[in-house]
Amino acid sequence: MNLSPLPAIMLEPLVRAALLEDLGRAGDVTTDAVVTPYHCVKTVLAARQRGIVAGLDLAMLAFRLISPDVEISLERPDGSSVEEGEVIASVVGPARAILTAERTALNFLCHLSGIATATASIVAAVREHPVKITCTRKTTPGLRAVEKYAVRAGGGANHRFGLDDAILIKDNHIAIAGGIRAAIKRARASAGHLVKIEVEVDTLTQLEEALTLAPDAVLLDNMSVDVLRQAVSMVAGRAITEASGRITASTAPAIAAAGIDLISIGWLTHSAPILDIGLDYRAP
């Protein structure tokens, strides 16, 4: 898989903040007390369960910010599938630095690999259909860019990154504006020619009304598979169709088979379980 590396200028503040949170006022008092200053070791990052790797840039940065003398050799780069026990990378260098950075590195790596693994499970479930699996803005504050990167590492695609990407008219917008027609008309009057407009609908009646104003995309929220089929037929290619609402690997195939263009899933970034990865010491 071709994944562009995340820019260090974006990652470094995240990793520095995480390290400072862990080091507190006095640093790693345990490691400093137990491990001699010049002791060097070889360790490996190893998968403890099957999954997809993501987040190695942040893990490597955690080690190297503590000591530039830490050397890391990647065996399984981001986007790779790993089996239980497989070595992802070797980490060699000063023992104090490696132990001090261990938890921060693993927190990022396990979390993002969990997102990539969850995404890959949905992508695999719908592989027979021409549908994209996308994430949402339901992300951990401060970690949106890296969590969305992890979705891409798992074979998914990204929805908008923020409120400034596109116009997405949701149910509360519609209620406050006084209806779908009013909301779309105001959005159309405000938007520049390059700004896409998507509108969320809950019923086929709302969809019919929305289509008269030619939105670029329609978000079909919490609809049954039968209703989704009718919705896709009504749209007839005039807009991008997106389905959302508690979608899992078991329900995604039927939704994809309804002819939907996109399936958006919030839990990929807000609730995906971690992928268990450990740092193991290798005795000389």
Give the list of residues 6+ apart from residue 47 with CB closer than 8 angstroms, or none.
Answer: 53, 82, 83, 84, 85, 86, 88, 275, 276, 277
Q: Cβ(114)–Cβ(82) under 8 Å?
A: no
Whether 221 is catalytic = yes
Catalytic-role residue among 75, 216, 221, 276: 221
Is 19 within 8 Å of 62 (Cβ atoms)? yes
Q: How far is CA 82 from the centre of its chain?
A: 18
* 78, 200, 242, 261: the active-site residue: 200
What is residue 144's three-state secondary structure?
helix
Residue 96 dihedral angles phi and psi, to the nearest 5° = -60, -45
Catalytic residue (one of 103, 137, 160, 229): 103
103 labelled catalytic? yes
In terms of phi and psi (left: phi > 0; alpha: psi -120 to 50; beta: otherwise), the region of 205 is: alpha
Please say if 170 is a catalytic residue.
Answer: yes
Residue 83 annotated in active site: no
**Of 16, 138, 181, 186, which residue is the catalytic one?**
138
Residues known to be catalytic = 103, 138, 170, 200, 221
